[in-house]
A = this chain, B = another copy of it.
């Protein structure tokens, strides 16, 4: 195999076994701080001999759309997932976790079909079926206790029981699992997807953030010690969504729509997923399905809410952010740096949050770090410098190594 074309881009099989880590919610602020305080010496060393840049995430900056952009190398208009969640044509809100929703194959599926062995490990089980589409072997840390590889229970391979999905080290377990599986499965390309439970709960410099980063760094070091080429990228950033008193700043759309006399609107919060303790379904982007007759009134009502940064039509959002038009609503809403979007106060249980609200979804969580352990060709370095997206990481690692 010289190259496999997936979603309009040609990928060379890795020259040496390679790993991409999607560090969920790893805002550039965490790494800047970690590098400044020398918390992460292996990653510092890795980028010294390789590359480090700020890339852009898919908007809305949520987990599922960005994980799929990373593994397909394509925007959401191509892979089909604009959020974690959407309103289906029958009027039901549905989690976008079924592989039937995908409209594009992954780079991993394409390489595997060409005879190149691949492997995927995800922390959150919600991504397992999506990432595994096309027969890609895919395991999750969350359900490792129920899964096995070649007859061996995964937790025996790792040597410790898997933590709960809300534990600080559930992400690290996914990397430990990959470290155990790689010598057995001998994949040429591995993808490891982490969870952002720590980033939702703690700012850069907090004790648990530091602990998370130090252990992440050790594990990246172990991957490098195995001779693997490593890329690290994030699906989205993370920001405090609180006012000066530490309370959440929430723009409640349904209340505003009701006050404006709009009936029959459906506000979809596409951050919604099974892990509500992270974010109480509060993110900085959403869309609204609305009867045409109410559109203007609803638009005005939402645009006037404090902290709402932009309101555009579904058509405009699809064109601007490369989203699948049929899976977003009639109005697309972006909240500002410190604000999230909700429906009405009663619908969000803030008591379950891990701490002061931190979340993502909007434009302010679009910058993400990108780290590559290898020296790049001038062309790949140029692309990275000119502003890559997280969907470019497999291109850079597979095609761009000098």
Contacts and interface: CB of A to CB of B under 8 A. Distances in A.
Interface string A28-70: 0000000000000000000000000000100000000000000
Contacts of A311: 10
Interface string A1-15: 001010111100000
B322 A319 contact: yes
Contacts of A334: 383
Given A319-B77, A322-B319, A387-B363, A337 B10 contact: no
A56 B309 CA distance: 18
Nearest to A317: B8
A175 to B, nearest CB: 30
Interface in A362-379: 362-364, 366, 378-379
Contacts of A56: 387
A74 B316 contact: yes
A222 B1 CA distance: 64
30 contacts: A3-B300, A5-B299, A5-B313, A7-B315, A8-B313, A8-B314, A8-B315, A8-B316, A9-B313, A10-B299, A10-B300, A10-B303, A74-B316, A75-B319, A309-B379, A309-B382, A310-B379, A310-B383, A319-B322, A336-B379, A336-B382, A337-B382, A337-B385, A362-B386, A363-B383, A363-B386, A363-B387, A364-B385, A366-B386, A366-B387
